[in-house]
Structure 1
Amino acid sequence: MQAIAELRYVPNTHARGLQTRQSRCLGIMLPEIGSSGAAKFLEGAESCARQAGYTLLLMTTAADTAREVECFSTMRQQQVDGVLWVAATFTDAHQEWQQHHALPTVVLAQDFSPHGLPSVLVDNYHAAFDAATYLLDHGHRRVAMITGDLNDRAVGLDRFRGFQDALAARGVPLDPHLVESGGASAQGRGVASYESGFQAMTRLLRQGPTAVLAASDNLAIGAMQCLLERGLRVPQDVSVMGFDDLDIAAHPTVRLTTVAFDFHQLGMLAARTLIDQLTEGAAPPPVQLSPYRLALRDTVRTL
């Protein structure tokens, strides 16, 4: 111990990994890190990993398939023990990589269990069903939706299906003119942005909705900005509801009614699932659902 102190010795983790065949490092792949949701997820995963003696190697993917496959290859080269993947779609390229490389992976935000990947996500279908039902319970019948990218099953398709089925359960016909996609960003990626929410709301205004359910808070805030610039009031003229409960949703100037997810808990659950798989060798559950709730604020009124 005296020699360690005098020489300021630090163990070489790479050398140790060669002996143990474990790097005690986990990879984490995120589409982006700019949102509060991504930051909270990362905090949760890092907290769980640190408590278990693991470090994290972070890479961003912009939800681009080629970039994701490249990140998987880099993670393997860096000898991470496993990967947490915040995913959007599963393609043939992903399938081919998974078939040729044995790298334990837990998927976030999507159900890829049919592809053999344990998945941790929220129940997007029922969350959207409950959100649409909340608007219907407040007397709205011309309820519009700004969808996410429908190629993204969880955020896009499942939330849209929940919206559809809530209308059907109340006997309200789905008007296709009251559905607009907000899935494409200004850069052409399938990422919902303020701008795409603004543009979708501009198109919806011609249809005269009394309420709008947006598939993300970013889309909802873009829609609100559009309404305000057109001289319309939220919620007096049009009610707006979002998804995610990002930090900005609770800001005093926004006060957005939305569907809230605990991203920190989601990150911890995903990391714990992967670590248990690595340390105990037990097969993780195919799908685990994290809870949601309606965060009721000021952007929905009763007709």
Structure 2
Amino acid sequence: MRALSRVRTQEKSATIKDVARVAGVSFSTVSRVVNNSKPVDEPTRQRVMQAIAELRYVPNSLARGLQTRRSRCLGMMLPEIGSSGAAKFLEGAESYAREAGYTMLLMTTAADTARELECFSIMRQQQIDGVLWTAATYTDAHREWQQHHTLPMVVLAQDFSPYGLPSVLVDNYHAAYDAAEHLIGHGHRRIAMITGDLNDRAVGLARFQGFEDALAAHGLTVAPDLVVRGDVSAHGRDIASRGSGYAAMAQLMAHQPTAVLAASDNLAIGAMQYLIEQGRSIPGDVSIMGFDDLDIAAHPMLRLSTVAFDFHDLGVLAARTLIELLHGEAATAPVQLSPYRLVLRDTVRRL
């Protein structure tokens, strides 16, 4: 019986008090090292870490969460995960969160308001510390939920700062302005645009307004028959979005544009497919420029000129903003814009 008792004692998991005793420090010092809550000098931290390794101490995250009222888990709400940009964004946010000691719960919403509100409630029930929300619209239902519940969040892809929500998005307006100026600078005057949803103020409308203002700055007007709406998201399916670009290009060719600015690479690729099937040359007959710089844009068969956003870095920026918010640090600005750059390949020619 004594031998069995000794075995059980040996198998008993080490506690934080055991770590403190072996390291020769206080219980609170071990807690600060484990939770990374307050600075600890490096020699002391090393002694604590060595004791943790020797004792094979595993922090009890559930107990720690009950004490701190923090789960060390973040929520991520995306409309879908089927697009290339969404995957890179998720990778960036998750990697930063992991390095900061957070895990991440992912939920998809299909950009549906009822589903978004359901996700908010589930994450609150799961005691998620905060949420990264890739939003489309802010409705009365969202406002009512926010008034009655507390859930820290950072909004992605939209500017919801007027509603008190820190927002992280790409600089769509200036990116489209510069892309249009590039086409104008190459001598193009009949420039068409395959837009996104113009009800989407931060993306679809911002890109169209940048395009429109660039033309106006050069004394050009946007011809109504040279603007066709495409489906940028197409429910997250790259192939479906390309089909939308294909159909838009078929409509535009009746009006003979010399260049087309597409609101996404997938729309641009669909437009290119139509032109190729019609025996048209790119850029000989029509120049094409896209948005996003997806991996496929650099394929030797495409070499698409486009506007590049670093979706991985955008995810990092969003996660960092949320974690700083959780630690009581004010956001650098209500709206943070991720930079862009033009990537000039082979689909635009000078007239």
With the length of structure 2 as denominator, give the TM-score of the two structures.
Answer: 0.81
Cα gap change, 1:141 to 1:47, in 2 (>3 Å): same
Give the corresponding residue for 2:17: none
Structure 1: which 5+ residue stretches go unaligned? none
Secondary structure at the counterpart of residue 143 of structure 2: helix
With the length of structure 1 as denominator, give the TM-score of the two structures.
Answer: 0.93
Residues 88 and 153 in structure 1, CA contact (< 8 A), matched pair in contact too: no
Task: Note the C-alpha offset of 1:280.
Answer: 3.1
- Report which structure shows greater RCO (CA 8 Å, sep ≥6): 1
Give the corresponding residue for 2:259: 211
Give the corresponding residue for 1:134: 182
Whole-angstrom CA distance in 1 between matches of 2:311 and 2:236: 26
Q: How does 1:197-276 map to 2 (within 5 A)?
A: 197-276=245-324
Whole-angstrom CA distance in 1 between matches of 2:236 and 2:92: 30
Whole-angstrom CA distance in 1 between matches of 2:200 and 2:158: 8
Amino acid corresponding to residue 158 of structure 1 in structure 2: A
Residues 186 and 195 in structure 1, CA contact (< 8 A), matched pair in contact too: no
Task: Note the C-alpha offset of 1:200.
Answer: 0.9
Superposed CA RMSD in Å reads 2.3
1:277 corresponds, among 299, 318, 325, to 325
Whole-angstrom CA distance in 2 between matches of 1:27 and 1:185: 22
Amino acid corresponding to residue 336 of structure 2 in structure 1: Q
Amino acid corresponding to residue 91 of structure 1 in structure 2: T
Q: How does 1:48-197 map to 2 (within 5 A)?
A: 48-183=96-231, 193-197=241-245
1:3 corresponds, among 12, 15, 22, to 12
2:334 corresponds, among 277, 286, 295, to 286
Which is helix-richer, 1 or 2?
2
Give the corresponding residue for 2:30: none
Secondary structure at the counterpart of residue 285 of structure 1: coil
| 1:55-109 C-alpha deviation (Å, 9 max, x unpaired) | 0000111222222122111111111000001112212221111111111110111
Residues 232 and 264 in structure 2, CA contact (< 8 A), matched pair in contact too: no
Residues 46 and 55 in structure 1, CA contact (< 8 A), matched pair in contact too: yes
Secondary structure at the counterpart of residue 291 of structure 2: strand
Cα gap change, 1:187 to 1:114, in 2 (>3 Å): closer
Residues 232 and 266 in structure 2, CA contact (< 8 A), matched pair in contact too: no
Task: Note the C-alpha offset of 1:18.
Answer: 2.3
Q: What is the percent sequence identity of the aligned residues? A: 76
Residues 185 and 196 in structure 1, CA contact (< 8 A), matched pair in contact too: no
Give the corresponding residue for 1:13: 61
Whole-angstrom CA distance in 2 between matches of 1:238 and 1:4: 70
- Figure out how many residues of one structure are paired with residues of the other and give that number: 302
Amino acid corresponding to residue 84 of structure 2 in structure 1: S
